Structure 1
Amino acid sequence: MNEATRLPNPGTGLTGPNYARRSRVEPTVDALGKGRWVATDESGWGGDQLAANPDRYMTIGSVAIDDQTAQQVLLDLRRDARITDQVAEVKFKHFKDRPTGRQALIEALGPGGSLEGRTSVYVIDKHYFVVGKIIDLLIETQAHSRGVEMYRNGAARQSARTLFEEGPRALGRDGFGKLVQATVDFASMRNRDGRQSSVENFFDVLEAAWAKSTRRRVTTVLAQARGTRAEAADFLQALQEGDLSDSLEPLIPGVAAVVNNWSERIGKVNALTDDQKVLTDDWLDKMIRQFDGGGSWELRWVLGRAQVGQMLRGESKTHPSLQLADLVAGAGFAVAKRFGGSDSPAAAELYPAVVPLIDPNSMVAFDDMSRFARPLG
């Protein structure tokens, strides 16, 4: 066995050569002229099996704060929440079931609180993300080869919204569900061995959806997708060869979007992510290159060249800033679940403080984030 495969990497619980370069154990400290640290963590993530996952939404919580400052904020939050347990790592679960904990979070996130202006919640609707892949991987790829920029003219996003919003009525919920599941089966990492799905399997479902569609705009989008067999074959070959691994993984473009959006707000950013296995050195390298080039990514595009210094991973138990990001992600996830129909005492109390923090560029099929405050949907 290679030595790099056996030895743990400093600052992370992950091991092996894929996690050897971009891990950090030292506390983060903001320094004049070197950018501000932004910590990110997720809640509701479950890999690339997005159709069958019981959690429709996932959130990425982020906090513009370094470890030095975060340590005192955590101590104050524990005091205000009356958390006397000697836990080494504070998580949202320590707050959500305590009235004092929920109140402490509300006060910290709100006006005059210790985290005012420092936090953001990026929401991903996993089903919308999957529908978007029909556009991203097939229709946009073909259009790009013909010199059409569907990202920059807004056509990619509009096509995804049309299919997502009108698809259930055009195909029936069962028919729409089959299309979403077929896309997951085709584009997920489980298909790398070629045993789960094929171009033919996917297009059988796509053709049936096109034939069944009762709404013109949906029929038009599906007609465009019907003409992308060559692109589908190229994608599947690249997936099986490992060139497009994790193409159906929402955490990767989600983290990239969060870091980009923070850079637009505060300038140069150094990002510290929780040590999720999917965030390999190679993927963090790709993010840096993407920021440097200002290119497209998913249905949202990088509008300019984001100013990003470091992209690193760390363990939350050694980085107080990541523990705060966990609190923000957990609060956002509770509110997203409430929006989807699953209420809780935490969501009922937290949503007035959390909804204003939701990133307006979240991966959802609407622009008005205040919709997350509406009664259960």
Structure 2
Amino acid sequence: MSDASRQPNPGTGLLGPRYARRNQLGATADIEGGGRWVAVDESGWDGDQLHGEQRSRYLSIGSVAISDADAEPIVDEIRSATRLQAPELKFSGVFAGPKNGQRRSVLSALLAPGGALHERASVYLLDKHYFVVAKLIDLFVEEQAHKQGSNFRNAGDARKMARSLFEEGPRALGPALFGRLLASTVAFTSQRNRDQQVTVDDFYEVVEEAWARSCRRNVTEALALLRTTQEEAVEFLQAAHGPDAAIPQALEPLIPAVAAVTANWSRKLGRVNMLVDDQRTLSDENLDDIEAEARDRGYPEFRHLSRGVHLGQLRRGQSTQHPSLQLADLIAGAGFAVAQRHHGLANPAGEDLHPVVVPLIDVAGMLPHDEPARVAQPTPPVT
């Protein structure tokens, strides 16, 4: 590696040649005819480890259609109102916790009708457990159907099957076995399995047990199809971990989620320029993939994406240098707090902010339903 590649890249805190091409060096500013800038940050990211007691259930992608030039006075306003002395605004340090209710009222006012960020902000929520179920169908059942000439995905059958398996699975299998099915899917498909410690036989042993135990028709039918896909599972391992890996990071949600956020903003605004926080997953290569996915490939959850997404620049930046990213962090953190409350976890921030955050939730997010308003209510326990 050259000396230059060891140095921090201007505009980002990440090192090395994988983070060299897409750095935003200066402040962003909207230029007539050049498209709107949208800043994007996340909260609750765990990579492709999407299941487990220590994992947060939701990934929240906060985005705000604002340039650094327009964000700076808003950040200054927040600093003044909250008496913040820290070098950057971070939701976790300023607005979370039981003692920050007064500061949260400042954020609520910005997001509410009449506020400076009203109709500029969006929250894309991804339920990680549902994402695992969707990938389970997508990688194996849909792949088999495609080889057989079926229009399984575009007809909506894949999405319907994933939702049925997710919604009915805990009752059909029992919460413990359904949890094992999710955990086995993550263990088998994640990057950690590149040495194949979890074999095809290990994975399908759990699938067989789930199929045999299922007591609901929709779940039984989905698992009956899944248990016939061992050939597709072998092909997946070769494609994901072989010498010519074609589907790296198959279970990494951040890449398709940012692509979906990009597409959603483009449909609202036309040409958009995206500025993402310097997350290590968002390498130049993965940003190339996001650009291609936003333009051509569609959503991570069986939704048809119309052509014509108008993406200008897709850049990476560090929040200390970009006030627009600091606002995106606040929106992502607020979305995560509200999602945690929805999951039944006591959360003062979620309690205070859900009235203004729930209307911002993208209807095209990665949730097992099309009703963002449901996030305003705690999820009842499975009995």
**Contact kept? 2:62, 2:122, Cα under 8 Å:** yes
- Counterpart residue number, 1:61: 62
Unaligned runs of 5+ in 1: none
Deviation at 1:376, TM superposition (A): 5.6
Alignment of 1:206-285 (within 5 A): 206-241=207-242, 242-285=245-288
Assess, with a 3 A threshold, how the Cα gap between structure 1 residues 124 and 295 changes in structure 2: closer, same or farther: closer
Counterpart amino acid of 2:358?
A: V
Q: Distance in 2 between matches of 1:104 and 1:376?
A: 28
- Counterpart residue number, 1:30: 30
Assess, with a 3 A threshold, how the Cα gap between structure 1 residues 294 and 253 changes in structure 2: closer, same or farther: closer
Per-residue CA deviations over 1:181-203 (Å, capped at 9, x if unaligned) read 100000001001222x1111111
**Contact kept? 2:19, 2:284, Cα under 8 Å:** yes
Deviation at 1:348, TM superposition (A): 1.1
Give secondary structure in 1 for the equivalent of 2:174: helix
Q: Distance in 2 between matches of 1:121 and 1:325?
A: 9
- Counterpart residue number, 1:179: 181
Q: 1:128 aligns with which of 127, 130, 153?
A: 130
- Counterpart residue number, 1:73: 74
Assess, with a 3 A threshold, how the Cα gap between structure 1 residues 124 and 292 changes in structure 2: closer, same or farther: closer
Per-residue CA deviations over 1:328-369 (Å, capped at 9, x if unaligned) read 000010000000011222111110000000000111111111
**Contact kept? 1:121, 1:328, Cα under 8 Å:** yes
Q: 1:151 aligns with which of 153, 159, 164?
A: 153
**Contact kept? 1:124, 1:364, Cα under 8 Å:** yes
Counterpart amino acid of 1:104?
A: V
Alignment of 1:1-377 (within 5 A): 1-3=1-3, 5-52=5-52, 53-83=54-84, 85=85, 87-92=86-91, 93-96=93-96, 97-195=99-197, 197-241=198-242, 242-293=245-296, 295=298, 297-375=300-378, 377=380
Assess, with a 3 A threshold, how the Cα gap between structure 1 residues 2 and 240 changes in structure 2: closer, same or farther: farther
Counterpart amino acid of 1:126?
A: K
Per-residue CA deviations over 1:107-156 (Å, capped at 9, x if unaligned) read 00001000011000011111101111111111111222233233322111
Per-residue CA deviations over 1:24-80 (Å, capped at 9, x if unaligned) read 121111111111111110001111111114311110000000000000111111222
Counterpart amino acid of 1:139?
A: V
**Contact kept? 1:274, 1:314, Cα under 8 Å:** yes
Counterpart amino acid of 1:250?
A: P
**Contact kept? 2:142, 2:152, Cα under 8 Å:** yes
**Contact kept? 2:301, 2:366, Cα under 8 Å:** no
Q: Distance in 1 between matches of 2:252 and 2:136?
A: 14
Q: Distance in 2 between matches of 1:118 and 1:35?
A: 15
Per-residue CA deviations over 1:295-338 (Å, capped at 9, x if unaligned) read 45443332333111111111011000000000000001000000
Assess, with a 3 A threshold, how the Cα gap between structure 1 residues 251 and 265 changes in structure 2: closer, same or farther: same
| Alignment TM-score, normalising by the size of structure 2 | 0.94
**Contact kept? 1:43, 1:58, Cα under 8 Å:** yes
**Contact kept? 1:341, 1:376, Cα under 8 Å:** yes
Give secondary structure in 1 for the equivalent of 2:95: helix
Q: CA RMSD in A?
A: 1.5
Counterpart amino acid of 1:68?
A: A
